[in-house]
Amino acid sequence: MKIEKWLRENTFHHSAFDDLSALVKAKQRQGLTVSLCLPTLNEEKTIGKEVLVFRTELQERYPLLDEIAVIDSGSTDRTREVAASFGADVYLSAEILPEMGHKKGKGENLWKAIYQLKGDIIVYIDADIKNIRPHFVYGLVGPLVSRPDVKYVKAFYDRPLALGPEVRPSGGGRVTEILVRPLFSLFFPDLTAIIQPLSGEYAVRRTVLEKIPFPIGYGVETAHLIDVYCRWGLEAFAQTDLDRRVHRNQSIYDLGRMAFGIVQAFILRTRSAGILQGTRPLSQVLRQFQVRAGQYELVQHRLVEEERPPMIEIPSYRRKYGLDR
C-alpha cells in the first residue's frame, strides 16, 4: 500500500466520529466492548479530570466505554485515591499477574492491562493531559468500529497534514523528529506515514495486543509499530487527528534516556527482521554529563529495555479467556 493512498484512506479527524449515538449503536451492533486504560505514576493533578470527563460523557451520557481503569505503578501521591473517588476502577500493576513479578515502566502497565481489562478494544490514554476532551477516546475508537480491517489506531496532534482547508503549524516531538523518524526512514519507510509514532494515545484490538511483546519501558510504542507492521502490514493502522494536546514537557536528559530505550527495542527488531545481523551485544549504560560547581560531572544510567512476552503465551491469561478450550 503506497503511503499517499494510506494517508488519504486511513487518516481521520476526530470530528468524523462525533455522532456518538451512531458510534455506540455501531459498537453494540457488532457486539464489541471497549475498555479505557489510564497508566499512572503520580498524576494526582490531572487524573481526576480525565476520569470525570470520560465517565460522564462516554459512560453515563453515551455508553461507549464499558470500563475505565487506572493501572498504577505505585504512586506516592494521591493518584489512586483521586481516581477511585471519581469512579475509576483502580489497580496496582504489581498485584496483577503476581506470578510474573513486577517490573517498573509504563510498558509494564500497558501489558498487564491486557490481562486485567475485559474489552475487545483497549484504549490507552496518558494520564497527564491538561486539555482532556471526550474526543481523545472516541476519535481513536471510531476507526476500529467503522473499519473491520483496521487493527491499531494512533493519535496525532498539531501536524501540518493538508487534508482540509486548514493547515496548522508544524512541530513534532523532539525524540520523534530527531531519532524515530530518521530510523523509520532508513529501515521501515512505510512507518514514516505515522505522524506521531510516540503518542501515548492509541486504541487497539485485543486480538492484536495479546500477540505482540511489550517492552516494559520507553520502547513500547516504537516496538508496537514495528511488530504490528511486520505481522499485519501498514493497512492494519489508522491514525486520528486530535487537534491539540497539552501536557508537561520533559527535560533533555529525560529525553536522552527515552531515546536510549527506544534504540534498544528498535535494534532488537531489526535483528529479528534480518535487517541488521552480526552486531555485537548492546551496551546497557547511557552516559550523560551535567555541570556541578563549574565542573562537568559524568552521570551513568544502566537502562535495560526488558520485554514481556505476548500475553497469549501466559497460562493465566489463556485460562482466564478460555483460549485452551
pLDDT tens-place string over residues 28-60: 999 999 999 999 999 999 999 999 999 999 999
**130-178 residue pLDDT tens:** 899 999 999 999 999 999 999 999 999 874 444 445 544 444 578 988 8
Q: How confident is the model at residue 184 (pLDDT cuts 50, 70, 90)?
A: very high
Q: Is 209 left (phi over 0), alpha (psi -120 to 50) or beta?
A: alpha
DSSP state of 149: T
Domain residue spans in the chain? Answer: 3-320
Closest residue by Cα to residue 38 from 117, 127, 106: 127
DSSP state of 88: -
Buried b (16+ CB within 10 A) or exposed e, 273-307: eeeeeeeeeeeeebeeeeeeeeeeeeeeeebebeb
Q: Could you tell me which CATH class the domain 3-320 is placed in?
A: alpha beta
Q: How far apart are CA 253 and CA 234, in angstroms?
A: 33
Buried b (16+ CB within 10 A) or exposed e, 155-171: bbbbbeeeeeeeeeeee
- CA end-to-end span of the chain, whole Å? 37
The amino acid occupying position 220 is V
Closest residue by Cα to residue 20 from 51, 67, 62: 62
pLDDT score recorded for residue 252: 82
